[in-house]
Amino acid sequence: MTLDTFFEKFDLFADAPDAVAKMRGLILRLAMQGKLSESHKTDGPVSELLREVEKDKMRLGFVNSARATSVNSDFSDDETSDAIPARWAWKRFGNIARHNAGKTLDKGRNRGELRDYITTSNLYWGFLQLESVRQMPMLDDELERCTAIKGDLLICEGGEAGRAAVWPHDSEISFQNHVHRARFFAGINPYFVQRYLEKLNATGEIEKYRKGVGISNMSGKALASIPIPLPPLAEQKRIVAKVDELMALCDRLEAQQQERETRHAALARASLSRFAEAPTPTNLHFLFLFHKSYPIPPADLRKSILTLAVQGKLVPQDPKDEPAIRVLERIDAAPKRAMRTRASDEGEGEEPAEFEPLFELPSGWEWAPFRRLPLHASVGLDRGRSLQGPDKAVGYFKMNNIRNSGGVDLSDLTRIDATPEEIAAFALADGDFLFNTRNSRELVGKTCVFRSSSDEPILNNNNILRVKFIEGFSPDFLDYWFRSPEGSSELEKLKSNTTNVCAIYQGKLSAFPCVVPPLAEQRRIVAKVEQLMALVDALETQLAASRATAANLLSALVAELTGTPHTGKVSAPSTTTTGRRGRPRKSA
């Protein structure tokens, strides 16, 4: 297979994660293996270039002098593992270039004329951003060491260490001490070396020459040690031209992808708007929304479904339904137990004033504060650092057991020791509404309805509020309200930051506004949401499988072109998921 064929087949793997970035990496790998160029009789052997390098170093006083960089010329097998053509040669960076870092910025000591200078913030892969160039004082005798001229390769010492670009302008520019400047001997093409450093970055090999975590660093010694594959000069020029040509093609493909994604996003918004604006969406609307021609992200679909559900637009209203006020009256009349809280929660956060309705409800629906709904609410068992092990008898439900997309996940359930009294007090029951009261800001407030097909006792953690409702009130519908964009937005207002975690205190939660439909409509809504969420789950599985197929194809094509072993298939996610209500389900 040729690289041209690879580009022609781009649509087959365009859905693979970072497809264009991987194509760029492939181009660089092929270029530095000599697979984008051929030998010309007029090129001359690379040995001639190496002799010219030594002559240039001698002429400039870089041989056997204090100015010479001490670099080991021997190579280990793992340093030059890439196969290069026999007409090429390996040389270390420090043996083909004179390089140094620039001037240290010190406002108290720097003297001289103000001159423009660049830092790592101006230096990117293959180009320089010069809109924010600053100035510093510099003496005339510092200019030779700290000024770049046209054709110099500038390389980041810090930040994304190794990031490099060639200074392309006729004017000169000074540079700061976190930038290395390299001038190559004997006319070695700086753009070729820049592309090789870019290749090392694409493959991750550059990490061998970096130090530090987060903000990396590449010392002059580390830079000097990097092995560089050298073709004859004329071939270097041809390779640079070919890489530039193919990278421009990648740029066009990327622009086309972004344009297509923009159109798809606009179409998705229009589709969702049409879906949401229908007085009561029909099956025709649902089929329209889930059609393969409308690539709406599954997360957006779930949000839209929940919005329609809590606004009364998902199923038809039935005037024969008993109005929600009767549901609330029965809850009011039911005997309730006192709410059990942590000692640290008592008195925390005063109850807000009565809320204003957030939007207009359908006939028969009501607004009610959260405190009006539960029969009983309590936090769970505090076990601190719970130890897991086969001898621990009782399941322990924690925040990680609440799925982000709704429902419970008991696949990684902590197990603890518990007394019979603790089991009696904290065992979860089918239909319990669970609310995560403390965690990081993005996770606090997660909810689910507990469902389990097992008879074993599972106790809730002390950061999980367990809520029980009167029979005939749907905890699933309330879960939809808390997870809907409208409910989540209101919930965000209740979050309070403590020393190192975020919390939602029960005093504030008690006044949280909740929508309450007629009971019969709650049941119809829950059934419809279950149906639609199952479709979304199936769609998400199909999308993941499609991306995995594209990634496998891309990996195989890259392996064929580069002559490297194919690492194997990229696995799609398992098709077995946990249903909205916690029971195993096989995706369609």
Which one has a higher pLDDT value, 392 or 138?
A: 138
Q: How many CA atoms lie within 13 A of 569 on its CB side?
A: 8
pLDDT at residue 300, as a whole number: 81
pLDDT at residue 573, as a whole number: 45
Q: Which two tokens stand for residue 448?
A: 């689910």
Q: At what angle do helices 233-277 and 19-31 cross, to 10 degrees?
A: 170
pLDDT at residue 553, as a whole number: 65
The Cα 189–Cα 303 span in angstroms is 54
Q: What is the pLDDT of residues 278-322, one digit of tens each?
A: 556 555 455 555 555 556 678 888 888 898 899 998 888 999 999
* CB-based contact 175:123 (threshold 8 Å): no
pLDDT average, residue stretch 453-482: 89
Question: Among 464, 436, 445, 469, which Cα is nearest to 378's?
Answer: 464
Which one has a higher pLDDT value, 66 or 166?
A: 166
The Cα 266–Cα 98 span in angstroms is 53
pLDDT at residue 572, as a whole number: 47
HEC sequence for 234-252: HHHHHHHHHHHHHHHHHHH
Looking up tokens 């049409």 gives 274
pTM for the model stands at 0.60
Inform me whether the pLDDT recorded for 577 exceeds 50: no
Lowest mean pLDDT among 90-104, 227-241, 542-556: 542-556
Q: 45-231: what CATH class?
A: alpha beta
Lowest mean pLDDT among 144-153, 228-237, 493-502: 493-502
pLDDT average, residue stretch 186-209: 95
Strands (E), 93-152: 97-101, 113-118, 123-124, 127-128, 134-138, 147-148
The Cα 194–Cα 110 span in angstroms is 31
Average confidence score pLDDT of the chain? 81
45-231 and 323-517 agree in CATH topology: yes
Q: What is the pLDDT of residues 407-427, one digit of tens each?
A: 899 888 888 888 889 899 999
pLDDT at residue 434, as a whole number: 93
Lowest mean pLDDT among 68-77, 115-124, 183-192, 390-399: 68-77
Identify residue 182 by its one-letter amino acid code: A
Lowest mean pLDDT among 83-87, 141-145, 315-319, 534-538: 534-538
pLDDT at residue 342, as a whole number: 47
Identify residue 517 by its one-letter amino acid code: P
pLDDT average, residue stretch 59-85: 72
Burial letters 199-210, b for 16+ CB under 10 A, else e: bbbbeeebeebb
Looking up tokens 């019979």 gives 420
Q: Which two tokens stand for residue 560?
A: 């064929």
Question: Among 68, 38, 29, 71, which Cα is nearest to 229's?
Answer: 29
The Cα 471–Cα 238 span in angstroms is 78
Maximum average pLDDT range among 98-102, 265-269, 544-548? 98-102
Instruction: Indicate the CATH number for domain 323-517.
Output: 3.90.220.20
Inform me whether the pLDDT recorded for 356 exceeds 80: no
Lowest mean pLDDT among 300-314, 358-372, 496-510: 496-510
Domain residue ranges of the chain, discontinuous segments joined by +: 1-33+250-297+308-315+521-588, 45-231, 323-517
